[in-house]
Amino acid sequence: MNQTTAYTAEQPPIIQKPYAQMLRETVNLCSLYGIFAVAVHLVISLISLKTAENHVLFYILDIIASLTGSLLPALVLAYLGRGHIKHYLYTPRQKKTSFFDSFLLVVFGLCGCVVVNMLCTMLESYLPETDHKVYLTFAGTIGNFLLMLTASAVVPAICEELPCRGYVYGSLSPYGHLLSVLLSSFIFGMMHSSFTTALFAFLCGCIFGCIRKTSNRFWLSVIVHFLNNALSALGVFIRVTVNSTAYLSFLRISSQIALFVFAGCIYWLYKRKVRIFFFRKCPLPMTKRKKIWCVITSPVLWLFVIAAIAIKFV
């Protein structure tokens, strides 16, 4: 055996997988994460329904659901993939926005979530009443508010953004931003309980994804997620400590202000040439038709869709 043959036998050439196969495997892994996350959130939510009268235990279970159902499986998949979650938190060769543009994106995201909340609230008024709503009763003290803020704003903002705008978005970003935003938002929406809540989370996830894509700053989506949930927690605190009339007034006034500020942010961002709704095409040599075909033929994705929809309606 000559020297060239021995060298070839010891170091075989690396065979690159076809891009279509890589995309399908990536969608399958992201959908597998979604199945696990939705299953864990479902089990813990069924347990928390029995503990609604004890708000401390209810929020502790909420924190456990975020840690075990959202964050932990994403960290495992990230470790098995590129080795560290930080590799999924930014897009290489893409510039970051300036500080002022990042500030505008945060205001845009927060006001957009308030507008979406208003639209989903209007939609919910036309839907039949559901039996699985949970109404918490607790004393409106600062300690209870901080517990609610931690469980519903601080922990979810980190434990849900790292998987959705981190691992899922980062895994799919080489195949185009639009696919990354839609699939990460769909998984994010299905992790929430009722139909209207899932729809609200999906639309907010699209806003978070657009901020992540435009700014190339992962932590901006975390900030917007936290501010949105903190605003909701503040609304619940007002309803508990004052009355429902004050809460409705707070919701109506904040929605009206947010609508105008949201439109103003879009205007200023486009005037500064920050294209929020511009999605980069797939840099890989794949046609749009082939990419769509790879996504719709991913078996784990359809399993996730069927399971998630069944959970929402059954």
Task: Map residue 284 onto helix, strand or coil.
Answer: coil
In this prediction, residue 240 carries a pLDDT of 75
pLDDT in tens, the chain (314 residues): 444 444 444 444 444 568 888 999 999 999 999 999 998 988 888 887 777 677 788 889 889 999 999 999 999 999 988 888 888 998 887 889 999 999 999 999 999 999 999 888 888 877 766 545 555 656 667 888 898 899 999 999 999 999 999 999 999 998 988 999 999 999 999 988 778 889 999 999 999 999 999 999 999 999 999 999 999 888 888 877 776 677 777 778 888 899 999 999 999 999 999 989 888 777 788 888 888 898 998 999 999 999 888 877 66
Of 222, 224, 226, 244, the closest CA to residue 235 belongs to: 244
In this prediction, residue 135 carries a pLDDT of 55
**Long-range CB contacts (within 8 A, 24+) of 11-14:** none
Cβ within 8 Å of residue 35, ≥6 positions away: 300, 303, 304, 307
In this prediction, residue 52 carries a pLDDT of 67
Query: What would the two tokens of residue 57 be?
Result: 């235990």
**Cβ–Cβ under 8 Å, residues 87 and 170:** yes
DSSP 173: G
In this prediction, residue 142 carries a pLDDT of 83
Of 111, 208, 101, the closest CA to residue 165 belongs to: 208
Of 306, 310, 303, 312, the closest CA to residue 31 belongs to: 303
d(CA 74, CA 34): 10
